[in-house]
Amino acid sequence: MNFIVVLASFPQLLEGLLITLALSAASIVGSTLLGLLAATLRVSRVPIGSQIARIYVEVFRGSPLLITLLFVYFGSAYAGYHMNIFAAAVVGISVYQGAYIAEIIRAGIESVPPGQWEASKILGLSNSQTFVSVVLPQTGKIVLPPLIGQYIALIKDTSIAFVIGLAELVRQGQAIIDRVGQPLAVYVTIAALYFIICYPLSRWVRGLEKRSQPA
Amino acid sequence: MSNLEPIIKLAGVTKSFGAVQVLKGIDLHVSEGEVLVVIGASGSGKSTVLRIMSGLETADSGQVWVNSVPLHDPRRAREIRGHVGMVFQQFNLFPHLTALGNVTLALLKVRKLSAEVAKKKALAVLDRVGLAEKAGNYPSQLSGGQQQRVAIARALAVEPTIMFFDEATSALDPELVGEVTSVMRSLADEGMTMVVVTHEMSFARKTADRVVFMDQGIIAEQGPPEQLFVRPQNDRTKQFLQRVLEV
Amino acid sequence: MAVLGYLGDISEAALLVLKITVLAFLLAVVLGLAAAVGRNSRFRILRFGAGVYVEVIRNTPVLLQIFVAYFALPNLGLNLNAFEAGVLALGVNVGAYLAEVFRAGISSVPKGQVEAAAILGLRSLDISIFVVFPQALRNVYPAVVNYLVQILLGTSLLSAIALPELTGTATTINSRTLIFLPVFTVTVLVYLLLSNVLAALAGIIGRVAFKPALVLPRGSVLSRMRLLKVNAVRGEVNK
Ligand SMILES: Nc1ncnc2c1ncn2[C@@H]1O[C@H](COP(=O)(O)OP(=O)(O)OP(=O)(O)O)[C@@H](O)[C@H]1O
Ligand SMILES: [Mg+2]
């Protein structure tokens, strides 16, 4: 392993890292909004809405992210609408991860005891008022650990945008390898960068889980 | 073993968890065939005493002889296993085994009986607690009282010399307590040596040969039930009894 | 529909996906068990090694791990073809997750179970085999099935090392025919079919193999498997 060569190309890796971080941030926002919407639809019992939300969740959780990315990127091109790679990656990852996040939020909503709904009804709150100001705030403690866990998965999954040609961290690494070789040194460096981002988050999740569970 | 020699002997037993000393010097003898009931407030150390006598915990200091096994000697403490029975508040039945499976497990793995003999023996013990016809049920398919009776059968199957009960009825709905205490009472009538931690004062009164009152890690008072319940000497005992008997 | 002409290729690819999934899953279970045992070991080196394995794998992308297996291991003298590299990478990846599942599964068995068995006189090996292990297995089963499905979906990434599995095959057919929508729709349907069939099979096995029957909550097979995460496993105390 020759890390000197890698060090010389480090600026290129940082460029990739920046794109990985931007993609992660945008997709976290997108997937959380979509997940919240789908979860709300799902529990709302609005006849068609909750069915659509259900199918959405089922389809994306039963198929690979890569297919979703290909669908969005090439599909939009075939449909005559040219999307840039970054936008396609944000849309694909948000839609895909949104399905997982929807289930996490739904589990959180359903963990709020029905008595909370009943008590609010008696106080004269409408269903949507109850949902927004009574139920959702209570889901935080239950939802946060798996939600952060899902964000970690999302950050790692941004690497899959490699396949549609986004110049994120792994693709920049591959470019360096094509130029100077040293695959192991390059991969170890990339792994270290991901690790530095994900490991603290993982520790945080573990801390949250421990706290939410009475020993 | 001579009948005069106590089957359980605790001398100067102490036990701490972390910085908290839970037992502060316990001296206690139990004779063969005796039914000893231990009462006391929550946290007074009742379970800990029972767990030390059954070998689940080791004392920090003092001597513990049970069934001629020196439990204070870590090298020999294991010898008690399979010779005493323990019934837990939470039943601790094996949920993946039927009532019969729960009772036969030790007969097969410890006693090395054949499947046929073990089954016959287990059914006999289950019959004794009135549950022979539930032999094929899993714990989740039994009521709390039935589960606890299976747990008693499981303990009895290995023919223990002593039975320990740690709040065996505390997790039960009130109407199910009777079916368990009546099994316990019949065991006592048959001469089983028993140490019973319980909040059932009527059981203590009717069945105990001797009652021990524990308070903050020591034995504050002990004596036959008629004495302890009617003329308690210790103020703490009086307060405790007033509180529990009022309810 | 031109896509029908390629059904042969697609089913061949689906078969390859199943083959990789089964092999990688077996590897993952073995590694997961080893790492779970290692993390609870008396020996510091084993604890440390297992910990590094679990943390490094869980905090780096699986695509990177696939690339290491395929492009970097030759530098260390280990030449794997795409199939072998795929099985290795997916197995090693999911093994790290299963290690945590197994650990949680074992600690989810209440202490009272071990105590009850110990007082009956069972030796510690017998306690593990006849009391702890069957209950732990039941507790981890839904999460393990979840990871089985994750491996299935993960095989799509092996198209990046030119393995002709489903996604790769779909891309090839597409580049040859340009019938994008039908090809990728069929591909998605095949993935959905495979993942749901796997989960349904696992559900049936769970109902038959566990006593009393392991009945999972209502809902589609897949979502109920997915929902039961390690947390749920840890929290589930048997009555
Ligand atoms: N394993 C342990 N670790 C730490 N502290 C413990 C442990 N077991 C018991 N204790 C503490 O020791 C004290 C005595 O516990 P013990 O269970 O013996 O009381 P008890 O008389 O049985 O009470 P209860 O009626 O509530 O069952 C309590 O304060 C308890 O919190
Ligand atoms: Mg107690």
Tell me the percentage of chain C whose pLDDT exceeds 70.
90
Confidence label for B3 from pLDDT (cuts 50, 70 and 90) = low
Here the ipTM equals 0.93
For the record, the structure tokens of C209 come out as: 């193999």
Tell me, what's the pLDDT at C216?
Answer: 61
Better-scored residue on pLDDT, C2 or B58: B58
Q: How many CB atoms lie within 10 A of CB B30?
A: 22
CB of B174 closer than 8 Å to CB of B247? no
From the CA of B23, give the closest atom in ligand 1. Answer: 14
Contacting residues for A164 by C-beta, under 8 A, at least 6 apart: A69, A70, A73, A74, A85, A88, A89
When pLDDT is averaged across residues A120-138 and rounded to a whole number, the result is: 90
Tell me, what's the pLDDT at C180?
Answer: 86
CA of B241 to the centre of ligand 1 (A): 20
Tell me, what's the pLDDT at A213?
Answer: 63
DSSP per-residue string spanning B115-177: HHHHHHHHHHHHHHTT-GGGTT--GGGS-HHHHHHHHHHHHHHT--SEEEEESTTTTS-HHHH
Number of alpha carbons in the 13 Å side-chain half-sphere of residue B208? 29
Tell me, what's the pLDDT at C28?
Answer: 98
When pLDDT is averaged across residues C112-131 and rounded to a whole number, the result is: 96
Q: How far is the first Cα of chain C from the last one, in angstroms, to the nearest whole number?
A: 56
Q: How far is the first Cα of chain B from the last one, in angstroms, to the nearest whole number?
A: 43
pLDDT at C234 over 60: no
Burial class, A137, CB count within 10 angstroms (exposed 0-12 / middle 13-18 / buried 19+):
exposed
- Whether domain C2-237 has CATH 1.10.3720.10: the reply is yes
Confidence label for C219 from pLDDT (cuts 50, 70 and 90) = very low
pTM: 0.86
From the CA of B51, give the closest atom in ligand 1. Answer: 18
When pLDDT is averaged across residues A26-35 and rounded to a whole number, the result is: 98
Q: pLDDT digits over A193-203, tens only?
A: 999 999 999 99
Tell me, what's the pLDDT at A215?
Answer: 43
In the predicted model, what is the mean pLDDT of chain A?
Answer: 92
When pLDDT is averaged across residues A160-180 and rounded to a whole number, the result is: 95
- Most A CBs within 10 A among C58, C60, C68, C218, hence the mutation to make, goes to C60
pLDDT at C221 over 80: no
- Most C CBs within 10 A among B52, B84, B92, B172, hence the mutation to make, goes to B92
When pLDDT is averaged across residues C132-138 and rounded to a whole number, the result is: 93
Per the CB < 8 Å rule, is C62 touching A156? yes
Per the CB < 8 Å rule, is C122 touching B109? yes
Confidence label for C213 from pLDDT (cuts 50, 70 and 90) = confident
Report the distance separating Cα A90 and Cα B158, nearest Å.
65
Tell me, what's the pLDDT at B5?
Answer: 84
Q: pLDDT digits over B187-241, tens only?
A: 999 999 999 999 999 999 999 999 999 999 999 999 999 999 999 999 999 999 9
Q: pLDDT digits over A158-168, tens only?
A: 999 999 999 99
- The preferred substitution site among B13, B47, B243 for testing ligand 1, maximizing ligand atoms within 8 Å of CB, is B47
CA of B47 to the centre of ligand 1 (A): 7
Better-scored residue on pLDDT, C3 or A190: A190
From the CA of B89, give the closest atom in ligand 1. Answer: 27
pLDDT at B78 over 80: yes
Tell me, what's the pLDDT at A80?
Answer: 85
Domains and CATH numbers, chain A: 3-212 (1.10.3720.10)
Report the distance separating Cα A121 and Cα A56, nearest Å.
31
pLDDT at C224 over 70: no
When pLDDT is averaged across residues B168-173 and rounded to a whole number, the result is: 96
When pLDDT is averaged across residues B71-75 and rounded to a whole number, the result is: 92
**Touch test C–A: 3 Cβ pairs or more under 8 Å:** yes
> Residue B28, SS3?
strand
For the record, the structure tokens of B117 come out as: 């003999």
For the record, the structure tokens of C19 come out as: 């083959």
Tell me, what's the pLDDT at A2?
Answer: 77
Confidence label for C218 from pLDDT (cuts 50, 70 and 90) = very low
Q: pLDDT digits over A65-104, tens only?
A: 999 999 999 888 888 888 899 999 999 999 999 999 999 9
Confidence label for B68 from pLDDT (cuts 50, 70 and 90) = very high
Pocket of ligand 1 (CB under 6 A): B 17, 22, 40, 42-48
Tell me, what's the pLDDT at B4?
Answer: 67
CB of C113 closer than 8 Å to CB of B94? yes
Tell me, what's the pLDDT at A211?
Answer: 79
In the predicted model, what is the mean pLDDT of chain B?
Answer: 95
